[in-house]
Amino acid sequence: MEMARIGATAAGGCRRLALSDEDRAARDLYIDWCRSADLAVRIDHVGNIFARREGRSPSLDPVGCGSHLDTQPHGGRFDGVYGVLAALEVVRTLNAHATETEAPLEIVVWTNEEGARFAPSMLGSGTFAGVHTLDFALTRRDREAITVAAALESIGYAGREPCGGHRYRAFFEAHIEQGPILEREGFTIGAVTGVQGLDWYDLRVGGEDAHAGSTSMAARHDALAGAARMITAIEDVARDHAPHAVATVGDIHALPGSRNTIPGTVEFTLDMRHPDAQALSDMGDAIRAECATIARQRGLELGIDSVEHTAPVVFAASCVASVRTGAETLGYPLREIISGAGHDACHLAGVAPTGMIFVPCAGGLSHNEAESATPADLAAGCNVLLHALLDHAAGTP
Ligand SMILES: [Zn+2]
C-alpha cells in the first residue's frame, strides 16, 4: 500500500508508466528497501534492477524471482508490484530467520513490462533473454518520440551492467491471476503450467457491390453474408478445440457501408489463442480451410494475413512441482492453471527453468483501477514463493 501511493489515482488505482517520474520514485523506494535488507543492487543497460542475497556458494548461478513496478495508465495496485514485493518479503523472512541458502538469490524488477508507454511489452525481460537486441530496446519511442535510452537517462536508471548473459538456476514470478478462475473455483494458489500462444490474423473477403433491390439472391456475391458464415465457422473451430481454445472476431468493416448496396468488401480481425503450439497451428489450418470453402461456395475472394504470432510457453516441470509441493506443505488449495496474459516469466522461460505462482484477484479484474486481492491470498502466494525458492536454492525450509 505504501508503494501504491506512488502514482496513486483518485479511483484507487495506480499510474506508473515505465521510466516516468512515478516509476523512478517507485524504483528509488524499492532500492531503499532492498539495501535495508542487505541486498547488493545492480542495474543493467535497460534499467532492469537486480538485488542479490549471497548464498553459501557464491559461484552457483542464483535463483531469481521478481516482476515489474510499471503499471497501465489506469492500472491497479497489484499487477506486477505484487511479484516484486513478494520477492522482497521472502528475502526479509530469510533474513529474520537467519536462513542461508546454498545458491544466491536475486530479486528482479524488469523494465517496461506493460508496454503502455513503450511497445513492445515485456521489453526489459525480453532484452535480458536475448529476444530483443539492446539497440532495439534503447531505440523504442513513446508517443512524444522520447526513446527508452533518453527516458532511462532522465530518471537516472541507465545502468552499467550489460543486459543478459548471466544465468539463473531457476526463476519464479508471483502474480495476481488477472482472471476469475481461482476465485470462482475456491483455490488459493494457481501453479501456472504455461502461457497460451497467440495468433492474430487480418481477413479480407472480396465480393461484388451491387444494388440491393435489383440483384436476385442467386446472383449476389455478398461479402458480408460470406464473412458471417466464416465467423460462425471460426467459433466452431474454437469449440472443436475445447476447453483451452479461444477465438475472437473483434473488429469488422463492411464496405461500401450503405443500406441499399450489397457489401462487396469485408475486412475483419481474428485473435486466436491456445496453450499448445500444435493445437494453435491446427486451428489456423482449420480456419483457413473452412473460410476457403465458404468463399468458394459463394464466389468470393479470400485473403488471410498473419499479423502476429506468439508461441505458447510451457513452464519447467521442476518449477511447477516446487509450487505444487509448497502449496501442499502449507495446506493451500491449489489448481494448475494456464495464463491468459503474457508475463516477464515468458521470456525468462527461454533462458532458465521458470515457474509462476498465481493468487486470486477480486472478480478476476485487472488492468483496472479497482484491481484487488486479499492480504491472506497475497501472503499465501508469498509463502509458496518462499518454499519454491528454497527448493531450488537448496535451502532448508
Ligand atoms: Zn503484470
Mean pLDDT by 10 residues, the chain (397 residues): 97 97 98 98 98 96 98 96 98 97 97 94 96 97 97 98 94 97 98 94 97 97 98 98 94 96 97 95 97 98 92 96 98 96 95 98 94 97 97 75
Ligand 1 centroid to residue 264 C-alpha, Å? 42
* Per-residue confidence (pLDDT) for residue 395, from 0 to 100: 58
Residue 283 amino acid letter? M
Please, what's the largest Cα pairwise distance for the chain?
86
At which residue does the C-alpha cell 506512488 appear?
A: 6
Gap between the Cα atoms of 128 and 112, Å rounded: 12
Ligand 1 centroid to residue 62 C-alpha, Å? 23
3-state secondary structure of 200: strand
At which residue does the C-alpha cell 502449496 appear?
A: 327
List C-alpha distances in Å: 273 to 193, 238, 278, 345: 16, 9, 12, 18
Ligand 1 centroid to residue 298 C-alpha, Å? 45
List C-alpha distances in Å: 246 to 161, 243, 269, 315, 339: 41, 9, 14, 21, 13
* Per-residue confidence (pLDDT) for residue 397, from 0 to 100: 42
Ligand 1 centroid to residue 47 C-alpha, Å? 17
* Per-residue confidence (pLDDT) for residue 46, from 0 to 100: 98
List C-alpha distances in Å: 150 to 43, 117, 140, 161: 16, 13, 10, 17
Ligand 1 centroid to residue 202 C-alpha, Å? 27
Ligand 1 centroid to residue 83 C-alpha, Å? 8
* Per-residue confidence (pLDDT) for residue 65, from 0 to 100: 98
Ligand 1 centroid to residue 87 C-alpha, Å? 14
With beta carbons less than 8 A apart as the criterion, state whether 263 and 223 touch: yes
Ligand 1 centroid to residue 223 C-alpha, Å? 40
Using CA atoms of 206, 207, 209, 210 in order, give the dihedral in degrees to the nearest 10: 180
Please, which residues have CB within 8 angstroms of residue 377's CB and are 6 or more apart in sequence? 188, 359, 360
Ligand 1 centroid to residue 178 C-alpha, Å? 9
| Cα angle value 341/62/335 (rounded, 5°) | 35
* Per-residue confidence (pLDDT) for residue 228, from 0 to 100: 98
Ligand 1 centroid to residue 80 C-alpha, Å? 4
Ligand 1 centroid to residue 230 C-alpha, Å? 34
Q: Crossing angle for the helix pair 81-96 and 21-36, nearest 10 degrees?
A: 10
